Amino acid sequence: MNERTLFPLINKLARCHQLTEAEYAQLIRFRTPETAARLAALARTAREAVYGTEVYTRGLIEVSNFCRNDCYYCGIRRSNQNCDRYRLSDEDILACCAEGYRLGFRTFVLQGGEDGAFSVPRVCRLLRAIKSDYPDCAVTLSLGEMERADYQALYNAGADRYLLRHETADPDHYAALHPAALSFDHRIQCLRDLKDIGYQVGCGFLVGSPGQTPELLAKDLKFVEEFQPAMCGIGPFIPQQDTPLRDEAPGTAELTVYLLSILRLIQPNLLLPATTALGTIQPNGRELGLAAGANVVMPNLSPLSVRKKYALYDGKICTGEEGAQCVGCLQGRVASVGYTLVSSRGDIRTI
Ligand code: 5AD
Ligand code: FES
């Protein structure tokens, strides 16, 4: 197997937007710098056909690091006694939105651990406040698993989008990364409910999680191909010192960027963020991601006082910078690969 045998597969992917699971696994297992360059070139062409040279941006507000879950990879897991817990008040969150709006954001993402203090009625009140102050903005929620009726209530209160990474599309691998209290089937049911209700849904997975193989990643790609989300967030697994997976090897920027190109070819209109984890594992990781098919960045708008506390993984970047500094920094990074950061809601385009 060499890149010559992979080039026909790559052409087939670009033409048909799908491969078999075995073919995805081959494309990953036998990748070379040449296959990566070919995929990236095709991915850039595909993204430019749908989104031109625009890069969308979302203001991320990390509302709480309390979490009832105990995922083995995550620094804000319930059992982590070293995590300095915080939750933002409604006033804090509205102040972040005001600052974000001033900076040009037209999407706000409220993300947090599964924290009972963010009850459905409270989040509904917040949504109504944000939507009445900023009717031209989209609001994305990323607050974990809920029952369908709760997702429906939040949608009715004005939520436009929901991010819930599936983390891995393989039930056994899911069980290796999560305690038994979390069920793969329920997570997938949540994603289906969200889509059914009418949300623009983002799924996503860890790259390089311990024990992950090309065959497991092929399942993630097949899942995305079939589910057809609006967004797919992927980033390298990065060990966090206070978690059970502290001594495992991290994922790589190289494989993450490779998968971004494949995802772009699977679904040309997919919203694909160049994630903070990608920028953490490699200083120019986000630029490499944008140059290989990504079209979204999600700078941090959380108050500086809590930034360091939302420590999902070690070494997280952007914890010392004001929102405005992150925007300036990202404008430069986006421009360095020939693209432009735009101020718009950045909805998915239908082709
Ligand atoms: N490394 C990389 N990503 C992580 N996440 C949580 N912990 C880690 C880690 N150690 C990701 C998960 C989650 C998102 C909010 O952050 O994929 O869905
Ligand atoms: Fe936050 Fe560069 S994006 S400092």
The angle, 0 to 180 degrees and rounded to 10, between the axes of the packed helices 120-133 and 90-103 is 30
Mutate to test the pocket of ligand 1, among 79, 114, 140, 206 (most ligand atoms within 8 A of CB): 206
What is the distance in A from the centroid of ligand 2 to the CA of 60?
Answer: 12
CB of 327 closer than 8 Å to CB of 55: no
Cα distance between residue 164 and residue 131, in whole Å: 22
Closest ligand to residue 329's CA: 2
Averaged pLDDT for residues 251-273? 99
Q: Are 200 and 231 in contact (CB under 8 A)?
A: yes
Residue 343: Cβ-neighbour burial (10 angstroms; 0-12, 13-18, 19+): middle
Q: Residues for the chain: how many in total? A: 351
Token pair in block for residue 90: 């409604």
Q: Are 154 and 124 contacting, i.e. CB atoms less than 8 angstroms apart?
A: yes
Handedness of CA 309, 237, 280, 233 (dihedral sign): negative
63 residue type, one letter: V
What number does the ligand 1 atom closest to the CA of 236 have?
2
pLDDT at 328 > cutoff 90: yes
Distance CA 116, CA 160 (A): 22
Widest Cα–Cα separation across the chain = 58
Q: Is the pTM of this model over 0.85?
A: yes
Residues with Cβ within 8 Å of 126's Cβ and at least 6 positions away in sequence, in order, are 90, 93, 94, 110
Which pLDDT score, from 0 to 100, does residue 2 have? Answer: 67
Confidence grade of residue 5 (pLDDT, cut at 50, 70, 90): confident
Atom of ligand 2 nearest to the CA of 297: 3
From the CA of 329, give the closest atom in ligand 2. Answer: 2
Interval between CA 325 and ligand 2 midpoint (Å): 7
CA angle 207–54–298, rounded 5-degree value: 45
Distance 280 CA to ligand 1 centre (A): 12
CA of 3 to the centre of ligand 1 (A): 32
**Ligand 1, CB within 6 Å, residue ranges:** 73-74, 165, 167, 206, 235, 237-238, 240, 277, 312-313
Give distance in angstroms: CA of 68 to centre of ligand 2.
Answer: 29
Cα angle 218, 221, 222 (rounded to 5 degrees) comes to 85
What does the pLDDT average to over 73-87? 98
- Residue with the smallest CA separation from ligand 1 atom 2 is 237
Q: Are 174 and 167 in contact (CB under 8 A)?
A: yes
Cα–Cα dist 266/10, whole Å: 11
Mean pLDDT (whole number) for 140-152: 98
Segment 4-18 shows an average pLDDT of: 95
- Is pLDDT above 90 for 272? yes
pLDDT of residue 216: 99
Residue 168 pLDDT: 99
CA-CA distance, 118 to 20, in Å (whole number)?
41
Residue whose CA is at the smallest distance from ligand 2 atom 1: 326
In 10 A of CB 70, how many CB atoms? 16
- Give the confidence band of 178 by pLDDT, cuts at 50, 70, 90: very high
pLDDT at 318 over 70: yes
> What distances in angstroms separate CA 345 from CA 29, 43, 189, 350, one per listed residue?
37, 23, 27, 15
What rounded mean pLDDT belongs to the chain?
97
pLDDT beyond 70 at 264: yes
Rounded distance from Cα 15 to ligand 1 centre (Å): 32
Question: Residue 321 — very low, low, confident or very high, per pLDDT cuts 50/70/90?
Answer: confident
Ligand 2 neighbours by CB, cut-off 6 Å:
299, 318, 321, 325-326, 329-330
With b for 16 or more beta-carbon neighbours within 10 A and e for fewer, the 286-308 pattern comes to bbbbbbbbbbbbbbbbbbeebbe
- Confidence band of 228 (pLDDT split at 50, 70, 90): very high
Strand order in the sheet with 107-112: 59-64, 107-112, 138-142, 161-163, 200-207, 231-236
Percent residues over pLDDT 90 in the chain:
97
* pLDDT score for 348: 97
Give me the percent of the chain exceeding a pLDDT of 70.
99
With contact defined as beta carbons under 8 Å apart, do 148 and 197 qualify?
yes
Give the Å distance between the CA of 336 and the centre of ligand 2.
Answer: 14
User: How far is residue 244's CA from residue 143's CA, in Å, rounded to a whole number?
Assistant: 23
DSSP-derived secondary structure letter, 234 = E
